[in-house]
């Protein structure tokens, strides 16, 4: 595949704009660009074909099965895209007078109301642009809360060792120290360790439930109670909400704030790595600290206001607004019955697929799972030398996106499988068959699996060289 720059020819271009219709302003030469601007020069026909080629080398969830654990790669419905593409949304300036953007404010207010109901929260901000950004914002809520009470000693955030890596990273960014809490044998929080860890320096606990091994922590009410008793707050990492939405609410489990990944649970597309949206919801006592501006409604008229003790802004304007539009379209589609049906479907699909694999692959926990399950290929690796990586890469040859690999860190040779509710039984059956076929292959000819994938546009990239001698841009033959 040629790069854009390799397709460039001097003087090529497109007639996109008319010539300037007023006298051209002359800047002082000292203000002008010196070096020539080496942007590619390509006619539209060749530009279009370039990206068609790139698209053919890209696998999206609308192309095929994508059981990437913890990422909730569910189908991205088209009606949501249509909703967000309307000029009445795309052509709004963020600083238009509020009376000219009542529909946009109603989108934000309605999405806030529905998502607060689903999470059991009282208020929400859509400013965070992604999950990690939401975590950061949620932690600032906790920080502001303790500060407002003069409780300066609460500098530590407790994070289970199975947590997503963003949790500790976000805590650091928010100015906290991280205390790691070990998991118990069932994959849940070790209550004794938690009891020992909490204290007057505890700012809060970050928790995903169901957790990263796909299990719902049945001790959840006790866990949040321990933290609350110690004066800390409880933060719910919403990455796995698709397992339980409509079944149980973070707010009712004792969580004080939560972030959601609209680009996972609420079906907005992930765009190859964003834009996402990571709104943060919280209980009433944290609302005064939410980012500014917030939306309020009175007598059917929407307006913006600044919470009295706001943390300020974590992003410009109102966040990734069009992503919220898509999520609202999805929320309206599913509604009261559809939301719990989605989580039930997600859990059913995960258990159904796990059931077909569990006699052949080792599960990290041999109990019923929630929306995802974690396999450990340690035994296979020991017996045959075929690793989780090898199996994952072989899946590519069958048009299946591999599960999340080597996560959570507490499971060796992990493959974390999340089918989501939008996959049909026959897709799951086919995938199960592929997993079993690969296992047979691994036992019969382990060497061949190290060569996988064999049918992809490229083979396994040399990642070590990439990191040691980074080439991060085209060099123009220099």
Partner 1 sequence: MGSYIPATGEERQAMLQAIGLTSVEELFDVVPEAVRVKNLDLPEGLSEWEVSQTMASLAEKNRVFRSVFRGAGAYRHYIPSIVKTVTSKEEFLTAYTPYQAEISQGVLQSIFEYQTQMCELTGMEVSNASVYDGAVAAAEAIFMCQERKRTSVVVSGAADPQTLAVIKTYCESRDVPVTILPVDGCATDPAALQAVLAGDTAAVYVQSPNYFGVLEDMDAIVSAAHGAGAKVIMGVNPISLGLLKPPGEYGVDIAVGEGQPLGMPLSFGGPYLGFMTCKKAMMRKLPGRIVGQTTDAQGNRCFVLTLQAREQHIRREKASSNICSNEALCAMTASVYLAAMGPRGLRQVAETCASHAHYLAGELAKLGFSLRSGEKPFFHEFCTDCPMDPALLCAKLEERGILGGLPVDGGILWCCTELNTKADMDQLIAVIGEVLGK
- The nearer residue to its own copies, 58 or 155, going by C-beta atoms, is 58
First to last CA, the chain: 20
Work out whether 56 is an interface residue with its own copies (CB under 8 A): yes
What CA–CA distance (Å, rounded) separates 413 from 403? 12
- Look at residue 319 and give the partner it binds from its own copies, partner 1, none, a contact being a CB closer than 5 to 8 Å depending on partner kind: partner 1
- Look at residue 170 and give the partner it binds from its own copies, partner 1, none, a contact being a CB closer than 5 to 8 Å depending on partner kind: partner 1
Q: Both tokens of residue 302?
A: 């929407």
- The nearer residue to partner 1, 148 or 465, going by C-beta atoms, is 465
State in angstroms the smallest separation of the CB of 260 from partner 1: 13
- Look at residue 311 and give the partner it binds from partner 1, its own copies, none, a contact being a CB closer than 5 to 8 Å depending on partner kind: partner 1
DSSP 8-state symbol, 293: -
What CA–CA distance (Å, rounded) separates 436 from 96? 57
Work out whether 13 is an interface residue with its own copies (CB under 8 A): no
Measured on CA atoms in the order 380, 385, 390, 395, is the torsion positive or negative? negative
The residue within the footprint of its own copies, chosen from 216, 423, 435, 439 (CB under 8 A), is 423
- The nearer residue to its own copies, 41 or 362, going by C-beta atoms, is 41
Question: How do strand 373-376 and strand 414-417 relate by DSSP bridges?
Answer: antiparallel
The helix or strand, by DSSP H or E, that contains position 191, with its residue range, turns out to be helix 191-197
Going by C-alpha positions, the residue among 280, 276, 269, 345 that lies closest to residue 119 is 280
Going by C-alpha positions, the residue among 359, 388, 401, 407 that lies closest to residue 449 is 388
- The nearer residue to its own copies, 225 or 333, going by C-beta atoms, is 333
What CA–CA distance (Å, rounded) separates 159 from 194? 10
Q: Is 45 within 8 Å of 12 (Cβ atoms)?
A: no
- Look at residue 453 and give the partner it binds from its own copies, partner 1, none, a contact being a CB closer than 5 to 8 Å depending on partner kind: partner 1
Cα-only R_g, the chain: 25
Work out whether 424 is an interface residue with its own copies (CB under 8 A): yes
State in angstroms the smallest separation of the CB of 58 from partner 1: 3
The helix or strand, by DSSP H or E, that contains position 181, with its residue range, turns out to be strand 177-181
Q: In b/e form, how buried is each residue of 406-427, taking b as 16+ CB within 10 angstroms? A: ebbebbebbbbbbbbbbbeeeb
Q: Both tokens of residue 268?
A: 């907005």
- Look at residue 150 and give the partner it binds from its own copies, partner 1, none, a contact being a CB closer than 5 to 8 Å depending on partner kind: none
Q: Both tokens of residue 314?
A: 């974590």
**Could you tell me how many residues of this chain bind its own copies (CB under 8 A)?**
23
The distance from CA 348 to its chain's CA centroid, rounded to whole angstroms, is 22
Contact flags string 324-363 toward its own copies, x per CB under 8 A:
---------x------------------------------
Contact flags string 35-54 toward its own copies, x per CB under 8 A:
--------xxxx-xx--x--
State in angstroms the smallest separation of the CB of 345 from its own copies: 12
The helix or strand, by DSSP H or E, that contains position 430, with its residue range, turns out to be helix 425-444
What CA–CA distance (Å, rounded) separates 6 from 246? 52
Q: Under rule CB under 8 A, which residues in 57-76 are in contact with its own copies?
A: 62-64, 75
Work out whether 429 is an interface residue with its own copies (CB under 8 A): no
- The nearer residue to its own copies, 13 or 175, going by C-beta atoms, is 13
State in angstroms the smallest separation of the CB of 308 from its own copies: 43
- Look at residue 335 and give the partner it binds from its own copies, partner 1, none, a contact being a CB closer than 5 to 8 Å depending on partner kind: partner 1
What three-state secondary structure class fits 115? Answer: helix
- Look at residue 433 and give the partner it binds from its own copies, partner 1, none, a contact being a CB closer than 5 to 8 Å depending on partner kind: none
Instruction: Show Cβ contacts of residue 249 under 8 Å, excluding neighbours closer than 6 positions.
Output: 118, 119, 120
- The nearer residue to its own copies, 44 or 192, going by C-beta atoms, is 44
- The nearer residue to partner 1, 46 or 441, going by C-beta atoms, is 46
Q: Under rule CB under 8 A, which residues in 166-195 are in contact with its own copies?
A: none
The residue within the footprint of its own copies, chosen from 28, 299, 359, 426 (CB under 8 A), is 426
- Look at residue 398 and give the partner it binds from its own copies, partner 1, none, a contact being a CB closer than 5 to 8 Å depending on partner kind: none
- The nearer residue to its own copies, 62 or 313, going by C-beta atoms, is 62
Q: Both tokens of residue 450?
A: 């190290």
Instruction: Provide φ and ψ at 364, rounded to 5°.
Output: -70, -30
Going by C-alpha positions, the residue among 344, 345, 342, 375 that lies closest to residue 359 is 375
Contact flags string 71-110 toward its own copies, x per CB under 8 A:
----x-xx--------------------------------
- The nearer residue to partner 1, 194 or 350, going by C-beta atoms, is 350
Work out whether 15 is an interface residue with its own copies (CB under 8 A): yes
What CA–CA distance (Å, rounded) separates 236 from 381? 35
Q: Both tokens of residue 17?
A: 């704009």
State in angstroms the smallest separation of the CB of 189 from its own copies: 35
Contact set with its own copies (CB under 8 A): 9, 12, 15, 43-46, 48-49, 52, 56, 62-64, 75, 77-78, 333, 422-424, 426-427
């Amino acid at each position: 595949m040629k790069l854009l720059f390799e397709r460039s020819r001097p003087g090529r271009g497109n007639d996109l704009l008319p010539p300037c219709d007023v006298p051209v302003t002359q800047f002082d030469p000292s203000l002008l660009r010196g070096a020539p601007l080496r942007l590619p020069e390509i006619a539209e026909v060749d530009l279009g074909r370039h990206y068609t080629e790139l698209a053919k080398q890209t696998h999206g969830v609308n192309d095929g099965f994508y059981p990437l654990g913890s990422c909730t790669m569910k189908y991205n419905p088209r009606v949501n895209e249509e909703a967000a593409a309307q000029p009445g949304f795309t052509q709004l300036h963020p600083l238009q007078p509020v009376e000219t953007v009542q529909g946009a404010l109603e989108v934000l207010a309605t999405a806030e109301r529905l998502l607060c109901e689903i999470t059991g929260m009282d208020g929400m901000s859509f400013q965070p642009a992604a999950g990690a950004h939401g975590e950061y914002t949620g932690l600032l809520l906790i920080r502001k809360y303790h500060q407002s009470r003069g409780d300066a000693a609460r500098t530590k955030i407790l994070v289970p060792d199975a947590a997503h890596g963003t949790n500790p990273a976000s805590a650091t960014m928010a100015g906290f120290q991280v205390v790691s809490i070990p998991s118990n044998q069932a994959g849940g929080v070790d209550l004794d360790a938690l009891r020992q860890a909490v204290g007057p320096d505890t700012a809060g606990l970050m928790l995903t439930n169901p957790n990263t091994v796909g299990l719902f922590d049945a001790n959840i009410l006790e866990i949040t109670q321990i933290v609350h008793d110690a004066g800390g707050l409880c933060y719910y990492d919403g990455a796995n909400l698709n397992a339980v939405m409509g079944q149980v609410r973070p707010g009712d489990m004792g969580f004080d704030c939560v972030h959601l990944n609209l680009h996972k649970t609420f079906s907005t597309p992930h765009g190859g790595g964003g834009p996402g949206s990571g709104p943060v919801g919280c209980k009433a006592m944290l609302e005064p600290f939410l980012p500014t501006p917030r939306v309020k409604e009175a007598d059917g008229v929407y307006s913006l206001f600044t919470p009295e003790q706001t943390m300020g802004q974590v992003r410009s304007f109102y966040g990734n607004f069009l992503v919220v539009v898509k999520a609202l379209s999805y929320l309206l589609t599913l509604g009261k019955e559809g939301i719990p049906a989605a989580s039930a479907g997600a859990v059913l699909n995960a258990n159904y697929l796990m059931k077909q694999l569990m006699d052949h692959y080792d599960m990290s926990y041999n109990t019923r799972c929630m929306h995802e399950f974690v396999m450990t290929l340690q035994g296979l690796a020991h017996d045959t030398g075929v690793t989780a990586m090898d199996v994952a890469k072989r899946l590519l040859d069958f048009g299946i996106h591999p599960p999340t690999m080597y996560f959570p860190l507490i499971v060796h040779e992990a493959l974390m499988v999340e089918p989501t509710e939008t996959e049909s039984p026959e897709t799951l059956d086919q995938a199960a068959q592929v997993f079993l076929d690969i296992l047979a292959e691994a036992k019969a000819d382990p060497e061949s699996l190290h060569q996988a994938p064999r049918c992809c546009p490229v083979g396994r990239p040399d990642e070590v060289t990439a990191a040691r001698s980074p080439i991060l841009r085209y060099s123009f033959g220099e």
